[in-house]
Structure 1
Amino acid sequence: MNAGIINLSEKFDEHYSKELEKNDISVIPLTADDFEQEIKNLDAVIIRENALEDAALTCKILLKLKEKSDLYVWVFSSGHQKFGRTVYLQLGALGIIPEDCDATELQLIVTNSLKKMNRKRENAVLSANDYDFENDMEYALKFKLIPRNHSLKISGKKEIPLTNLEYKALDMLFRNANNTVTYEELFESVWDKDFSCQGYRIANLIFHLREKLKKNSEDPTFIRTVRSRGYMLDLSSL
């Protein structure tokens, strides 16, 4: 597992790195200028900052990470204030690591989260492997998700580019095609966090997905709303 460390005004001390590496987490030093080039090689990111000096830059980095990845992100901060912590969490940080956090505690925070993430990925792979493609080959050929490109092809037509979150949502719906996926299941699959009345985020994501399908398909009504429960990818019209 790889953890990228983005050093701002404060530096990530070597004893923290050594503790992570003892637990099979490779530490990759990054800067605010080069972190985007390494996103695809990372499992997690820690932003090491001084909140009094780096708040604006930290927010900018969090926005970029949220836009381009689903990585676990922590802000390891000195001089932090309650308002700043709230903003960071709203921008996608998994947590705020305080200045008095010792190396063992930080290692446990990161390791426990990454192990949980890996278990969910393994379960997702098993679920995908259990999908009955032999009996539903016609669906698989006509409604084709392309993992390498994070895109979709419908009936061999033009490839539809998707954002990372859109692809994850559509993948979850496809693995449960013609069956309801609840709001909770969809949220936890896409954001890898516990669902807590955040249906508006799912609704917004599904809205954008439907808009893309509408522009690129003669029959864009694939994603059906199952009232009070969730959504269904209805492939019966293919």
Structure 2
Amino acid sequence: MESHKFKMGINILVVEDEQSIADLVELYLKNDNYNVYKFYTGKEALECIESVPLDLAILDVMLPDIDGFSICQKIREKYFFPIIMLTAKVEDMDKIMGLTLGADDYITKPFNPLELTARVKTQLRRYKKYNNGEGFEDTNETNNEIEFSGLIINKDNHKCILYGKQLQLTPIEFSILWYLCEHKGKVISSEELFEAVWGEDYLDNNNTVMTHVARLREKMNEPSRKPKFIKTVWGVGYTIE
């Protein structure tokens, strides 16, 4: 077990009760010069979360004491660093559950450790851009704030104000909303939105965008049937009008 002592660099939490998998993930992450805090139970992980400034968490869904969904939910009460869920199940509901609770990505066992480390790098890159006040490249670099119908979204400070109240968005939620606002009036397909926000190729039957949009609407107190801002164009994608 790793010490909770603070280390310089990027700190990654790994929670996995199968020791062989946890050790393998730790090995590959350390090879990329990350600091790894590895635990086999949720209880130990929760203690680490409160004492270590983490940059990313990798959570197994099935743990002996507290399931990964509960840990994810607990993290999202206070923190916005990226979360990647590990699941041994192939059911879409597991993936949707994790994404709905605030996870940023998921990977199904068995997995290639190189794929996991690639996803870690993608999430960390996005998180760093979010914290540094950077955003998507824009053809008009002075247009860094969009305001309409009570919504103000600013990519310089990554703040989103709706009817005078700041929304607590994760980096991915902010990126989705900014991309849709940036292309206001245009219907954006799930494929385009996924590739723009996640930076990966879109796969058929990918529910990732749908679940993140649903969570975004929930934070905006949008009714699911007739949302004011993010509208679904069935069979095509999403639009903000």
TM range (shorter): 0.5 to 0.7
CA contact (8 A) 1:188 1:195 kept: no
Distance 1:115 1:212 in 2: 32
Q: Which runs of 5+ in 1 are unaligned?
A: 76-81, 99-104, 214-219
1:33 alignment partner, SS class: helix
Across the two proteins, how many residue pairs are aligned to each other? Answer: 208
The superposition leaves residues 135-178 of structure 1 with CA deviations (integer Å, 9 ceiling, x where unpaired) of x5784597432579975225xx5124244364343122123233
> For the residues of structure 2 that align with 1:13 and 1:138, how far apart are their CA atoms?
43
- Write the distance in 1 (CA, Å) between the matches of 2:173 and 2:48: 23
- Percent sequence identity is 16
Aligned counterpart, 2:211: 201
Give the direction of change, closer, same or farther, for the CA distance of 1:132–1:227 in structure 2 (3 Å limit): farther
Partner in structure 2 of residue 180 of structure 1: 187
Match of residue 27 from structure 1? 36
Aligned pairs for 1:3-42 within 5 A: 3-6=12-15, 8=17, 10=19, 17-29=26-38, 31-37=44-50, 41-42=54-55
2:83 pairs with one of 68, 71, 92: 71
Contact 1:6–1:35, Cα closer than 8 Å, also in 2: no
Query: Within 2, Cα distance between the matches of 1:223 and 1:96?
Result: 33
| C-alpha contact 2:187 2:237 (8 A) present in aligned 1 | yes
Which residue of structure 1 aligns with residue 6 of structure 2?
none
The TM-score normalised by the length of structure 2 is: 0.57
Q: Which residue of 2 aligns with 1:45?
A: 58
1:60 aligns to 2:67 (yes or no): no
2:56–2:124 Cα contact (<8 Å) kept: no
The root-mean-square deviation of aligned C-alpha atoms, in Å, is: 4.8
Q: How far does the alpha carbon of each residue in 1:55-100 deviate from its partner, in whole angstroms, 9 at most, with x for none?
A: 753453355468865422336xxxxxx7x665755543422258xx
In the aligned structure 2, how far is the partner of 1:97 from the partner of 1:26? 23
Deviation at 1:26, TM superposition (A): 2.2
The whole-number CA distance in structure 2 between the counterparts of 1:138 and 1:14 is 45
Q: TM-score, normalised by structure 1?
A: 0.57
1:129 pairs with 120, 137, 141, which one? 137
Work out which of the residue numbers 110, 113, 131 in structure 1 matches 2:116: 110
Deviation of 1:8 after TM superposition, in Å, equals 4.9
SS at match of 1:130: coil
Query: What is the DSSP-based 3-state SS (H/G/I as helix, E as strand, rest coil) of the residue aligned with 2:33?
Result: coil
Question: What is the CA distance between 1:127 and its match in structure 2?
Answer: 6.6
User: d(CA) in 1 for partners of 2:231 and 2:69?
Assistant: 35
For the residues of structure 1 that align with 2:86 and 2:157, how far apart are their CA atoms? 27
Q: 1:233 aligned to 2:234?
A: no
- Secondary structure class of the residue paired with 1:153: strand
- Alignment of 1:161 onto 2:167: yes
Is the alpha carbon distance of 1:167 and 1:203 closer, same or farther for their aligned partners in structure 2, counting shifts above 3 Å?
A: closer
**Does 2:233 correspond to 1:221?**
no
Secondary structure (helix, strand or coil) at the match of 2:235 reads coil
In the TM superposition, residue 45 of structure 1 has moved relative to its aligned partner by 1.3
CA shift, 1:200, in A, is: 5.4
Helix, strand or coil at the partner of 1:32: helix
Tell me which moved more, 221-230 or 124-133. Answer: 124-133
Which structure has the bigger radius of gyration? Answer: 1
State how far apart, in whole Å, the 1-side matches of 2:146 and 2:72 are.
Answer: 37
Check the 8 A contact 1:4/1:28 in 2, yes or no: yes
Structure 2 alignment gaps of length 5 or more: 1-9, 99-105
CA shift, 1:4, in A, is 0.9
